[in-house]
Structure 1
Amino acid sequence: MGYDFTAQDVGYLLSPDGALALAEVDRFELTSRTRLADIGRARTRFGDRAAMLVETVLLRRKAIGKLPGSGGWLFTDEALQQATPSVVARHRARRLAGRSVHDVTCSVGAELAALSETASVVLGSDLDAVRLRMAAHNVPAVAVARADALAPCSRGTVVVADPARRAGGRRTFDPAQLQPPLPDLVSVYRSRDLVVKCAPGLDFDALAWDGEVEVTSLSGGVREACLWSRDLAEPGVTRRASVLAADGTGWTVTDAEPDDIPERAPGQWIVDPDGAVVRAGLVRQYAARHGLWQLDPQIAYLTGDTVPAGVRGFRVLERIKFSEKVLRQELARLDCGSVEILVRGVDIDPAVLRPRLKLKGTRAYSVIVTRIGRAGVAFVCAPPTV
């Protein structure tokens, strides 16, 4: 759960004494090896304030990779967990360049920082007074106010919202259980341009969203979905996958692109599309763009005789009907000593299968287990290229 910060805690941390105390605690190693001793030193030195100081230092260190440049920020543990990585936030902010934007769930200000780089006017509001005071410190150039996201307090702005994804202490994928509830947000801002950040695990088809659903990945991991109201969406686009690298570069694919792909036997390579492409339901569009086709119409694995530039591809060496016995024999024949196992469309746990293969060789391979039609199949591949 993390430390429960109060307004008084934030006031102390922002005071000259608090700044000196944070600087001193930041010199502590605070690793698993030293943490108990370091916390003891902090308690001896700062008494009851030790917990907030240690927590702040640890959160700042944790934020370095996610929010570069936030070294002097204040966080709560939950706020940092939910904060949008800077690369993703800047990607979204570029689509709102030149607009007036109001983040109605601004929390500690991660989204505000990115929006302030592109938008003409940025406002922030939140119900949590502690996080709001942190946001005022973290992004001092942006005006913030305490307000309920479901009680509009600005006009003529694009509304950005990031509902909390926990209900009763547990993560939820039910739009009605978000805080504030997604149906309520949509109803309140029905006549406004609206952007809602949400979990990629939501059932987007069930939402019947009248606009664009964008699924974004960062460095190979799916990070979020973003709902764009109709007037903010590109004409003809209802689904978008955005694939970002750590440096902010990337590419997108949308459902406005062609999805005609051939039905052919497996090619020389197998490609596992980025998770954002799969979650957005744009496997066929991605395949058409790169001259690939599907192993099976119901399976997201793609195949072809070339691999898109910069994409991880698996060169097929052998194709066998899947059974543990046959796969074990084939890997033994190939002198396999280690194997990466990828599974899609079949009920197999790679962690359970791997030790049962009893590998004793010296070479590394990749195995893709899937199905074509109703038949289970395994592809033994060379280690992936990137």
Structure 2
Amino acid sequence: MPYAFTLDDVAFLRSADGARALAAVAALPLTGRVADVAAVRKLVGERFAPVLETVLLRRKGKLDPNWLYTSDALQQASVPPVARHRAARLAGRDVHDVTCSIGADLAELGRIARRCVGSDLDPVRLAMARHNCPDVPVVRADALKPVTRNAVIVADPARRDSAGRRTWRPADFAPPLDALAEVYAGRDLAVKCAPGLDPAAVPWAAEIELVSLDGQVREACVWSAGLATARRRATVLRSDGSRWTVTDRDPDDVGAAAPGEWIVDPDGAVVRAGLVKHYAARHGLWQLDERIAYLTGHTPPPGVRAFRVAEHGHYQEKSLRTLLRARGVGRLEILVRGLDVDPDALRKRLKLTGAEEATVVLTRIGRTPHFFLCRAERVPR
């Protein structure tokens, strides 16, 4: 069970004595064994539990290593590049983060908004936010009882039930999405959600944006009418600071045709946003099948990991095994869309022993299963 911080814990961690205790424990190797508790207790005394928990959370490396956070708050917090991107859309505005928690979004909003305030009901998280975001005012307030006027409302509802289990029903969020939309009707509203959000659950949303970072889909953000610039958007971020976006306003006049020299698996944000055709049109690609997200073409987009096709044909496990053994393939990446194939189970059944490595893309074209034997390559920017 995660440690339950108290206000007294936070006050100690923010003090000079707390800073010394954190520094001392941070110097320990901390193997994850029971002996760690005894070692930390010996080093810092009865305050060992909040100090040990804080050091362990900081070692996860998700946020600023000098911050304070609880385990649950850290799990839900946006990583800085994603929070920074969302904040950039609100530059120069007055912003109220009504579920500020420990301040992950608040920190980025505070750097770019004209004026910014954070609020939350949890007094412990508010105390941590005051430490993490010293230049942004925070107050205790219920997100469903407005305490500001005219500011853009930013919210990140908790997505766990009273037992701590993850919930996917927007009505079970805290606060519920519909309640937020009702309370702030007529005001600009941006709500962070899980990437699996069903658009039908937010009929009031004018834009749904899917955001990925380094190939991993991180979140969806729902934007009200005053903030929307498209109906659907996919934003792809990289840790090097680069980013690009595609929306449903981009052309989508592509269809399906015979395979080209490359297979491209679009970023997950593009797929989840339903913008595969728009992405394909931008880069001169087309689909293998109009119901499958794999794209193909003669020139892959810059900066992506694409798959140069060496051989393709109708897929049968036995014939694929024969081909791979003939080519000396022993290390095989298996990508699947549209077929009921478990990559791990298939890899075991193939029993490959060669020295070469390859990627096989398994999909269907129409009703026919196909394979594409490929070499994965990182395309230069």
Report the TM-score when normalising by structure 1: 0.95
Work out whether 1:125 is the aligned partner of 2:119: yes
Please name the residue that 1:42 is paired with: 40
Please name the residue that 1:371 is paired with: 364
Please name the residue that 1:286 is paired with: 279
Query: Partners in 1 of 2:182 and 2:223 — Cα distance?
Result: 14
Please name the residue that 2:301 is paired with: 308
Query: Partners in 2 of 1:110 and 1:327 — Cα distance?
Result: 48
Listed as ranges, the matches of 1:174-253 within 5 Å are 174-234=169-229, 237-253=230-246
Code of the residue aligned with 1:105 in structure 2: it is: T
Partner of 1:378: helix, strand, or coil?
Answer: strand
Listed as ranges, the matches of 1:7-46 within 5 Å are 7-32=7-32, 35-46=33-44
**Which has the larger displacement, 259-268 or 140-149?**
259-268
Residues 61-81 of structure 1: CA deviation (Å, up to 9, x unaligned): 21x3x22xx222111011111
Instruction: Report if aligned partners of 1:222, 1:275 keep a CA contact under 8 Å in 2.
Output: yes
**Which has the larger displacement, 265-274 or 36-45?**
36-45
Please name the residue that 2:139 is paired with: 145
Q: Which runs of 5+ in 2 are unaligned?
A: none
Residue number among 42, 62, 80 corresponding to 1:86 in the alignment: 80
Q: Which runs of 5+ in 1 are unaligned?
A: none
Query: Partners in 2 of 1:10 and 1:210 — Cα distance?
Result: 37
Listed as ranges, the matches of 1:320-359 within 5 Å are 320-359=313-352
Q: Percent identity?
A: 60
Work out whether 1:157 is the aligned partner of 2:155: no
Partner of 1:329: helix, strand, or coil?
Answer: helix
Work out whether 1:269 is the aligned partner of 2:262: yes
Report the TM-score when normalising by structure 2: 0.97
**Superposition deviation, residue 27 in structure 1:** 1.2
Residue number among 41, 50, 55 corresponding to 1:57 in the alignment: 55
Partner of 1:24: helix, strand, or coil?
Answer: helix
Code of the residue aligned with 1:260 in structure 2: it is: D
Aligned length: 378
Structure 1 166/348 Cα, relative in aligned 2: closer, same or farther at 3 Å? Answer: same
| Deviant stretches of 4+, over 4 Å | none
Listed as ranges, the matches of 1:66-81 within 5 Å are 66-67=62-63, 70-81=64-75
**Which has the larger displacement, 164-173 or 4-13?**
164-173
Instruction: Report if aligned partners of 2:205, 2:222 keep a CA contact under 8 Å in 1.
Output: no
Please name the residue that 1:257 is paired with: 250
Work out whether 1:360 is the aligned partner of 2:353: yes
Partner of 2:258: helix, strand, or coil?
Answer: coil
Query: Partners in 1 of 2:41 and 2:215 — Cα distance?
Result: 41
**Superposition deviation, residue 38 in structure 1:** 3.0
Query: Partners in 1 of 2:167 and 2:316 — Cα distance?
Result: 37
Residues 335-386 of structure 1: CA deviation (Å, up to 9, x unaligned): 1111000011111110100011111211111000111111111111123333
CA RMSD of aligned residues (A): 1.2
Work out whether 1:171 is the aligned partner of 2:135: no
**Superposition deviation, residue 207 in structure 1:** 2.6
Query: Partners in 2 of 1:309 and 1:248 — Cα distance?
Result: 16
Query: Partners in 2 of 1:218 and 1:382 — Cα distance?
Result: 24
**Superposition deviation, residue 16 in structure 1:** 2.0
Query: Partners in 1 of 2:133 and 2:200 — Cα distance?
Result: 36
Query: Partners in 1 of 2:118 and 2:31 — Cα distance?
Result: 35
**Superposition deviation, residue 206 in structure 1:** 4.1
Residues 224-251 of structure 1: CA deviation (Å, up to 9, x unaligned): 00011111111xx100000000133200
Query: Partners in 2 of 1:366 and 1:89 — Cα distance?
Result: 34
